[in-house]
């Protein structure tokens, strides 16, 4: 497993756990809500609201990312972004992360340091004040990243998937289909003659298509718009991680309604917007007449429940998107 083309660094096996932690802890972002951070058996997190929003997610080398395409910084950033967006999707402000890593013993410690830099930069850019309060480090032949994220509702009601009603406006904040375009390019042009991910070709794609490649490898979801949506009276909301069609069907079924999307609002590549995953934008419904907050834009309407959960201009759409057990075209990234 090749981690980097950079100068050699001591591996985690050579330094052992205690010295590895000594090197990476100072690079982790501080959580403003932490009363006690890394170093003890548990962290202590302030919860002034009296309720805690909690979510967790995993990224596994192979189905979720390829080291030939992603830098360590990319992976740290994406691990933060994908979990911060889940917290935002319920209308909360992200406050803290727990990070558990299972890494090959041949992994250079410099790779972990760069990963922590990505976490720090992702939190600073997307959710200032959110930081890492602890975690775990173990060994595995397969590089695995597990993140638990915490959030604060600050007195707001949680915005669930189940609150949409007929007549509500359906809106999206963030990208639709950009991650799918980046993944398509990587599988088309970022592989060698045998179809294997190639580091040099991926680097060339970063230069030629920075917008699309960054959209997949290091997405920048609109985290602050989760709180803005809650304050504006969003009736339902969720993160768009598996594609608009699939995630809209989940929100529609939870609410007992149908969502009718407008093709003209989905951009030039409708298929990518509907079925591409990992943009990590926000899908929400609002009462008719609501001034849409932040970066939200109108993409459809909630209608009475029908046989189909999702329509586009009144026509049924198959709710397909990213599924780790049924990856589209065998692709993952």
User: What pLDDT is attached to residue 131?
Assistant: 97
Residue reference for tokens 């990070």: 99
The answer to whether the annotation marks 279 as part of a ligand binding site is no
Q: How many helices (H) and strands (E) does the chain have?
A: 9, 13
Who contacts 264 (Cβ-Cβ below 8 Å, separation ≥6)? none
Q: Where are the domains of the chain?
A: 12-152, 169-175+219-323, 182-217
**CA angle in degrees (0–180, nearest 5) for 314-298-159:** 100
At 199, give phi and psi (nearest 5°): -65, -45
The answer to whether the annotation marks 86 as part of a ligand binding site is yes
User: What pLDDT is attached to residue 333?
Assistant: 58
Please choose, from the candidates 170, 171, 198, 172, the residue with its C-alpha nearest in 3D space to the C-alpha of residue 185: 198
In angstroms, the CA 273 to CA 244 distance is 6
Q: Do domains 12-152 and 169-175+219-323 have the same CATH topology?
A: no
Q: What is the DSSP string of 171-212?
A: EEES-SSHHHHHHHHHHHHSB-TTS-B-HHHHHHHHHH-HHH
In angstroms, the CA 82 to CA 160 distance is 18
The answer to whether the annotation marks 136 as part of a ligand binding site is yes
The answer to whether the annotation marks 91 as part of a ligand binding site is no
Computed over every residue of the chain, the mean pLDDT equals 94
The answer to whether the annotation marks 57 as part of a ligand binding site is yes
Are 130 and 251 in contact, with CB atoms under 8 Å apart?
A: no
Give how far Cα 66 sits from Cα of 62, 161, 203, 220, 317, Å.
6, 32, 13, 19, 31
User: What pLDDT is attached to residue 330?
Assistant: 44
User: What pLDDT is attached to residue 321?
Assistant: 85
The answer to whether the annotation marks 140 as part of a ligand binding site is no
Q: Which two tokens stand for residue 117?
A: 């830099």
The answer to whether the annotation marks 41 as part of a ligand binding site is yes
The answer to whether the annotation marks 326 as part of a ligand binding site is no
CATH of domain 169-175+219-323: 3.90.650.10
Q: What is the DSSP string of 114-174?
A: HHHHHHHHHHHHHSTT-EEEEEEEEE-SS-EEEEEEEEE-TTPPP--TT---TTPEEEEES
Provide block-wise average pLDDT over 10 residues at a time, the chain (333 residues): 69 90 92 94 96 97 95 98 98 98 96 97 98 96 98 98 98 97 96 95 97 97 98 98 96 98 97 94 98 98 97 95 60 55
Give how far Cα 248 sits from Cα of 226, 252, 256, 292, Å.
17, 6, 12, 18
The model carries a pTM of 0.94
User: What pLDDT is attached to residue 209?
Assistant: 98
Fold entry, domain 12-152: 60s Ribosomal Protein L30; Chain: A; (3.30.1330)
User: What pLDDT is attached to residue 211?
Assistant: 97
């Amino acid at each position: 497993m090749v981690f980097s083309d950079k100068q050699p660094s001591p591996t985690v096996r050579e330094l052992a756990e205690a010295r590895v932690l000594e090197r990476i802890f100072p690079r982790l972002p501080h959580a403003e809500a932490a009363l006690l951070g890394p170093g003890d058996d548990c962290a202590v997190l302030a919860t002034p609201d009296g309720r805690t929003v909690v979510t967790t997610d995993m990224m596994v080398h192979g189905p979720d990312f390829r080291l030939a395409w992603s830098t360590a910084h990319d992976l740290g950033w994406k691990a933060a972004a994908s979990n911060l967006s889940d917290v935002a999707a319920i209308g909360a402000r992200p406050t803290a992360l727990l990070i558990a890593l299972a890494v090959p013993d041949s992994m250079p410690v410099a790779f972990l340091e760069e990963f922590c830099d990505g976490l720090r930069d992702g939190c600073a850019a997307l959710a200032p004040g959110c930081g890492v309060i602890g975690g775990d480090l173990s060994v595995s032949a397969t590089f695995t990243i597990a993140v638990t994220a915490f959030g604060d509702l600050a007195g707001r009601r949680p915005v669930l998937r189940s609150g949409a009603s007929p007549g509500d406006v359906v809106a999206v904040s963030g990208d639709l289909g950009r991650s799918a375009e980046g993944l398509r390019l990587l599988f088309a042009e970022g592989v060698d003659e045998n179809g294997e991910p190639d580091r040099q070709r991926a680097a060339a794609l970063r230069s030629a298509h920075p917008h699309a490649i960054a959209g997949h490898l290091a997405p920048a979801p609109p985290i602050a718009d989760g709180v803005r949506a809650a304050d504006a009276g969003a009736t339902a909301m969720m993160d768009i991680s598996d594609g608009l069609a699939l995630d809209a069907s989940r929100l529609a079924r939870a609410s007992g309604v149908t969502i009718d999307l407008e093709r003209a609002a989905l951009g030039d590549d409708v298929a990518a917007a509907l079925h591409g995953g990992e943009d990590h934008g926000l899908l929400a419904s609002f009462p008719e007449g609501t001034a849409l907050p932040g970066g939200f834009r109108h993409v459809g309407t909630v209608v009475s429940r029908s046989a189909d959960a999702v329509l586009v201009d009144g026509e049924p759409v198959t709710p397909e998107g990213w599924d780790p057990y049924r990856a589209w075209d065998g692709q993952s990234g």
